[in-house]
Amino acid sequence: MNEKPVETDKTQLQETTNPRRPVEHSTNENEQTVKPVEIPNETETKPIVKQKLYRKPSVKRKCVTPKVNCPEKIILCIDHSAIMFTNKFKRTVQSMKQQAVFQVLTGAVRNFIKTKSFIDSRHQFALVLLNQTPQLIVDFQPSGQDVMFMLKDIGTQFNESEMVEVDDEVFNLSTLFDQVENMVNLPSVKHPDKPGPPPYVVRMIFVFGRSSSALKFCENDEKLNSNPYFFCDCVYIHEEPNDGNCVTVKLFHYVCELDKNGTSFIYEVGTDGSMSSLYNAFANLLAHPLQR
């Protein structure tokens, strides 16, 4: 005699055997029911994330440059406005006292120059200060000792009454690119589609710290940006965004417009954070432009 199979509730079987769904057994012996544990919806509780500035995707360079280790001619273009001396980083556990932006920047540049010279002694460094117009302070030299000495001397002898007045509303980049173009000759490119190893590369590191200023772009930078051996990196130092300044995502996107070919390193550093972020930015700039 054939026995009739016992019918089971499929929904109850799924609830008791589903390994992905935790269950809670009742402690009462008379109750044999199994109660599923309610899992909170993850979409209801979202963590509070501090707003940061993100860069737009840039256009990639069409020609492929060789990944070689050749000498660099590095031009440090540093903002010399009064805000670099009056604006200070936030006090943290690591730093017992507040330090001015220019003072912290001097230490970060010193570590950058010493490390680059240790990696390759053929690298050369130059210093340009940005007031109303760029001013060449130190021409190219291998060790960078004069650059470090001048930055330290400028930081210790700061006098706000003697500072040159600058236009806080806009900074014209055309004068900066003209200064860079007059300082150095770019390596010639015989085959633009497949350039060979260059004798050197030219890199401009643009350090801008005016939170209430906008950048005015120019059209005379085509000669520099069209050369595959010219690179432009940027460190944007800004105050905490508020109604009194124009630190916005839109302004940071303007800074990112300096990256014409998708090969630049662009970093933003806020003074409302730790000053170690400025050191980290210059540590990332140690990478050779052709080996990124």
Residue 246 domain-assigned (yes or no): yes
pLDDT at res. 115: 97
Q: What pLDDT does 161 receive? A: 55
pLDDT at 248: 62
Taking the alpha carbons at both ends of the chain, their separation in whole angstroms is: 80
Question: Is 86 a domain residue?
Answer: yes
For CA atoms 11, 17, 22, 25, the dihedral sign is positive
Whether 8 maps to a domain, the answer reads no
Burial (0-12, 13-18, 19+ Cβ within 10 Å), 190: exposed
Does 52 fall in a domain?
A: no
* pTM of the entire predicted model: 0.75
Q: Whats the size of the chain, residue-wise?
A: 292
CATH number, domain of 130, equals: 3.40.50.410
- Does any domain span residue 59? no
> Considering the domain boundaries, does residue 67 fall inside one?
no
Residue 269 domain flag? yes
How far apart CA 35 and CA 43 sit, in angstroms, is 24
* CA–CA distances in Å: residue 116 to residues 275, 278, 287: 21, 17, 9
Q: Within a domain: residue 13?
A: no
Which pLDDT score, from 0 to 100, does residue 43 have? Answer: 44
Per residue of the chain (292 residues), give pLDDT as tens. 455 555 545 544 444 444 444 444 544 555 455 555 454 454 444 443 344 554 444 455 556 677 888 999 999 999 998 889 988 988 766 666 788 999 999 999 999 999 999 999 999 999 999 988 899 999 999 989 999 999 999 988 877 655 655 556 778 888 899 999 999 999 887 776 677 788 999 999 999 988 777 787 776 677 788 888 999 999 999 887 776 666 666 677 778 888 888 889 999 998 888 889 999 999 999 999 998 8
pLDDT of residue 94: 63
Structural domain including 124 reads 72-291
The structural domain count of the chain equals 1
